[in-house]
Structure 1
Amino acid sequence: MAEVLVVADDLTGANATAADFAEAGLRAATASAATRADVVTDMVARFDVVVATTDSRHAPPEEAARLVGEAVRAGWPAQLVCNRIDTTLRGNVGATTQALADEVRRLSGRRVVVLCAPAHPAAGRHTIGGTQLLDGRRLEETEVARDARTPMRTSDVREILGQQADLDAHLVPMATVTGPRADLVGALRSALTGGVDAFVVDAMTEEHLDRIATAAVAAAEGLDLVWVTSDPGPGSVAMARALGLGRTARGAPLLVVSGSATELTRAQLQQLSTERGAVLHRVPCLPSSAVPDVEAAAAALEQALTGAGPDEVVVFATVIDDSDVMPTTAEDAALIPRQLAAAVRRAVEAHPVEGLFTTGGDVTAAVLAELGSHGLEISGEVVPLAVAGTLVGGPWDGLHIATKGGLVGEVGTTVECVDHLRRTVELDRRRVASAATRFPDRPPD
């Protein structure tokens, strides 16, 4: 499941919130759920944070509430569920907040309390005395008062919530937010034991949001309740931090496939093991032969991948040290890369890899053919004659790859290539992505 599930009423806000979570170190993605909520289900296993966009800011309240419910059900369970609202409180703030709280209550079977912290300090949105300010002015005194579809007639956050929701909302004023922590925790605890449904909190800085979130978690200790948030993003990020949510151990290991018997390749693999802790696995071969045993090799590689963590490097090589070198006929030399590639394909069908490094031209060509790739999109040269890119076409379309010939480079070249591959994969893990459809032809992540 995702660490955090966010339901947003428009794509721009969703992207901004996903970026906030990515900045906090979580892998975040936006998913267009306006017409197909099931895309959220596809993505929660792949990302720490999924922000589902419903495109419902200007929809009728009942429709907005329905879409929120569908998105929550599609992404459930999650450690934290958030309602991403507009920074100027336009749209169906009350209806979506109520719908999200109701759905989480139904799914969890527990009491749900909303933390509504609509301040976005970096964007000049502050909440003082329960009043939302845009660059220091009440909303009704700014251009949003003339919004064609949802003109803002008030800045009172509790009043805005109450227009579409039946929530007992308690105000936490600035004096309490900035006062002694014990007093803040005590005020929240008292309201919680009194049965409050929601808190509307003042905030002018990111520090205020962090104080509120950590105090809320402390105040709820020992109480059987679930926090949800309703805010433009920063409050939800603060609550995620307060709950201890963070980067999960997602991803898959990197795989190095070598079918080269050169002395240089053997030295490069040993260097990779020494400097980066890569685990070297020799490919099981047919009796008295250098030709891989496909069944045994696939099973061995699958076992190696299963036991490897997302930041580890698994090396699968036909030759690791001098004792592995065997006399090879021309016929066997042509068969080795094909058999090795077949074993690799079977293994990665059962266990995903996040990046692939191949050494040896024949092996690279055979692996690409087995994986159904139409070719490579080259992103650049790591070192002369060693390139990096992604697979194009086939079930593994987009898989990161680096590749070189068996006689290319120096002793440390394979380390350089794998380091480049790791950096590329890490950047890809943290990107803010957007997806609107499933990819049934891709392997599980």
Structure 2
Amino acid sequence: MERFRLGLIADDLTGALDTGVQFQQKGLTTVVPFKYGRSFQDVGVVAFNSNTRHEKREVAFRRVFQLTRRLKGRILFKKVDSTLRGNVAAEIMAMLEASGLHKAILAPAFPTQGRTLEEGILKFYGTPFHRTAYREAFSPPLDTSFVPELMERGLGEKVGHLGREALKHGPLKLSERIRGARERVILVDSWNRRDLRLIGQAWWSFLRDEALICGSAGLAKEIDLGEPPRRTTPFRMRRKKGPLLLVSGSRHEKTLNQVRRVLKVLGFPLVEPDMADFTNPLKSAQEIRKVARLVGDALDRSKGVVLSTSFREMVKGNEDQVAQSLGKVVGHVLRRHEISSLILSGGDVAMEVCQNLRSGGMRIETEILQGIPLSSLLDGPWKGLPIVTKGGGLGDPNAFLEVIHYLTG
């Protein structure tokens, strides 16, 4: 039994992994289950993926409520997207109601990725979010960056807000301000990593048994658990022979540039589906088999292959179908070809691929780059297969190149 037992819920797989790895780096065994019924009593951190980023509010609330019940007895962390995409308000309320906790502390900032919360305003490298291209990722597009207003729309109740001045007197005073607030959800400004560290310390040292903490991987990284338990078996990458497969469904400009760098520098072949057939219920099965053959042929003659829909025109509303089809392609490929490792970009794509690998979950092994973890399958036909996952908006242009270098030595 590990010293601390935490439960984490994210709304997509990459979020569960990039936040879970922050606790793994503190010395806690961390797993991300694919099947909710399995017990992990001896595991330090259980990181659930509710897979609710694009679900309706009611579905998200119900699923997160049920998952929270499964985490009974654990200290709770709600991973929220640092740009507040998804059903943030509904999922926070679900965790509060299912756990019986009285307060939720919300600190979504991720300063090292340019995302800060200043006087209640969510900013991207100093620009309010609703004035950046990110506003289009919301439906309807964002019309304000003032987070208390955005959260109150979703919660239907007033949200507390503590500015930076509340951090000046240390974690104990901050915890007292939070405990004494009338509102259930308290938003706290965070301009930099030091601010997040203070928020994390206030929660962990004084509030962890009475408040839900909500934030991104940036907040998880700054939480100091004290002296962590020692790992008896430090992770060592066991490099397998065979080519690697990079699968990208993210359309984020950062991911597009990262894939372009791999194609240019390493010369990996690129396989792209015919999107019309890929998303046509009458033709998708045939297109999946065709694409799987193309990927397999490319794997036979290359050290690595890129399977991507990122550069193709996407019809709005077809995102789920594309992710499902990519997952099926990878399942077909792995049944016929041996690979050394998988790199997956985009939360929906990562989840669909993993569901086709017939495993009960993943164990997080290490963090290759900031927010880019390496995990391995817990069981199933491909037990131990190394899998790297990356959220669409993370990493510099050489991120995939650095990951590939790590995997191949």
Q: TM-score range by the shorter chain?
A: 0.5 to 0.7
Correspondence for 1:263: none
Hey, what does 1:202 align to over in structure 2?
189
Superposed, 1:107-186 pairs within 5 Å as 111-147=101-137, 149=139, 151-166=141-156, 168-177=158-167, 179-181=168-170, 185-186=172-173
Match of 1:97 in 2: 92
Tell me the residue number matched to 1:76: 72
Partner of 2:213: 229
Report deviation, 1:54: 1.3
Is contact 2:85–2:138 with CA below 8 Å preserved after alignment? no
Contact 1:13 1:84 (C-alpha < 8 Å) held by counterparts? yes
Deviation (angstroms), 1:119: 0.8
Quick one: distance in 2 between partners of 1:194 and 1:149?
31
Q: Is the 8 A contact 2:160 2:181 kept in 1?
A: no
CA RMSD of aligned residues (A): 3.7
Deviation digits for residues 314-336 of structure 1 (CA, Å, limit 9, x no counterpart): xxxxxxxxxxxxxxxxxxxxxxx
Deviations 1:283-310 (A, max 9, x none): xxxxxxxxxxxxxxxxxxxxxxxxxxxx
**Offset at residue 68 of structure 1 (A):** 0.7
Alpha-carbon spacing, 1:84–1:215, altered in 2? closer, same or farther (3 Å): closer
Equivalent residue letter for 2:30: A
Q: 2:104 & 2:124 partners in 1: Cα distance?
A: 23
Give CA deviations for 1:352-401 in whole Å, capped at 9, x if unaligned. Answer: xxxxxxxxxxxxxxxxxxxxxxxxxxx9xxxxxxxxxxxxxxxxxxxxxx
Shift of 1:67: 1.1
Shift of 1:436: 8.7
**SS of 2:116's equivalent?**
strand
Shift of 1:438: 8.5
Sort the Cα spacing of 1:63 and 1:37 in 2 relative to 1 into closer, same or farther, 3 A. Answer: same
- 1:82 counterpart SS class: strand
Deviation at 1:125, TM superposition (A): 1.0
SS of the residue corresponding to residue 50 of structure 1 reads: strand
The answer to whether the 8 Å contact 1:48/1:247 transfers is no
1:65 and 2:49 equivalent? no
Alignment partners' CA distance in 1, 2:138 and 2:150? 18
* Matching of residues 18-417 of structure 1 within 5 Å: 18-32=20-34, 36-38=35-37, 41-45=38-42, 47-78=43-74, 80-105=75-100, 111-147=101-137, 149=139, 151-166=141-156, 168-177=158-167, 179-181=168-170, 185-186=172-173, 188-216=175-203, 220=207, 226-239=210-223, 241=224, 244=226, 246-247=228-229
Contact 1:169 1:196 in 2 (8 A): yes
SS at match of 1:58: coil
Rounded to whole Å, the distance in 1 between the matches of 2:59 and 2:201 is 34
Query: Aligned pair in 2 of structure 1 residues 86, 99: CA closer, same or farther (>3 Å)?
Result: same
Contact 2:203 2:213 in 1 (8 A): no
Conserved in 2, the CA contact under 8 Å of 1:94 and 1:160? no
TM superposition shift of 1:29: 2.1
Tell whether the 8 Å contact from 1:82 to 1:230 is kept in structure 2 after alignment.
yes
Amino acid at match of 1:90: R
**Residues 166/238 of structure 1: CA separation in 2 closer, same or farther (3 Å cut):** farther
Displacement after TM superposition at 1:191 (Å): 4.6
Separation in 2 of the partners of 1:17 and 1:217?
Answer: 16
TM-score by length of 1: 0.49
Q: Quick one: structure 1 residues 187 and 229, their matched pair in 2 at CA, closer, same or farther if it must change by over 3 Å?
A: closer
For the residues of structure 1 that align with 2:158 and 2:190, how far apart are their CA atoms? 20
Separation (CA, whole Å) in 1 of partners of 2:147 and 2:213:
14
Provide closer, same or farther for how the CA distance between residues 49 and 61 of structure 1 changes in structure 2, counting only shifts above 3 A. same
Contact in 1 for aligned 2:80/2:214 (Cα 8 Å): yes
Give the gaps of 5 or more residues in structure 2. Answer: 234-339, 341-363, 382-409
CA drift of 1:187 comes to 5.2
Check the 8 A contact 1:6/1:82 in 2, yes or no.
Answer: yes
Q: Tell me which structure has the larger Cα radius of gyration.
A: 1
Q: Is the 8 A contact 1:61 1:164 kept in 2?
A: no
Supply the distance in 2 between the matched residues of 1:4 and 1:118 (Cα, whole angstroms): 19
What is the alpha-carbon distance in structure 2 between the residues aligned to residue 86 and residue 436 of structure 1?
26
Distance 1:83 1:149 in 2: 22
Aligned-pair CA distance for 1:23: 2.4
Partner Cα distance (1:436, 1:166) in 2: 41
**Greater RCO (CA < 8 Å, at least 6 residues apart):** 2
Can you give the 5+ residue segments of structure 1 that lack an aligned partner in the other structure?
106-110, 252-378, 380-425, 440-445
Distance 1:218 1:81 in 2: 14
Q: Distance in 2 between matches of 1:166 and 1:219?
A: 28
TM-score, scaled relative to structure 2: 0.53
The answer to whether the 8 A contact 2:365-2:375 is kept is: no
Query: Hey, what's the Cα distance between the residues in 2 that align with 1:19 and 1:218?
Result: 21
Count matched residues. 251
Give the match's secondary structure for 2:143. coil
CA shift digits 1:17-49 (9 cap, x unpaired): 1222222332222223xxx422xx43343x321
Counterpart-to-counterpart distance in 1, 2:15 and 2:228: 21
Q: What is the identity, as a one-letter code, of the residue corresponding to 1:72?
A: T
Q: Is the 8 A contact 1:119 1:127 kept in 2?
A: yes
Contact 1:28 1:432 in 2 (8 A): no
How far, CA to CA, are the matches of 1:156 and 1:245 in structure 2?
37
**1-side partners of 2:200 and 2:137: how far apart?**
32
The aligned runs of 1:411-426 (5 Å cut-off) are none
Sort the Cα spacing of 1:238 and 1:16 in 2 relative to 1 into closer, same or farther, 3 A: same
Deviations 1:70-111 (A, max 9, x none): 211222221x21111111111101000111111110xxxxx4
How many percent identity over aligned positions? 21
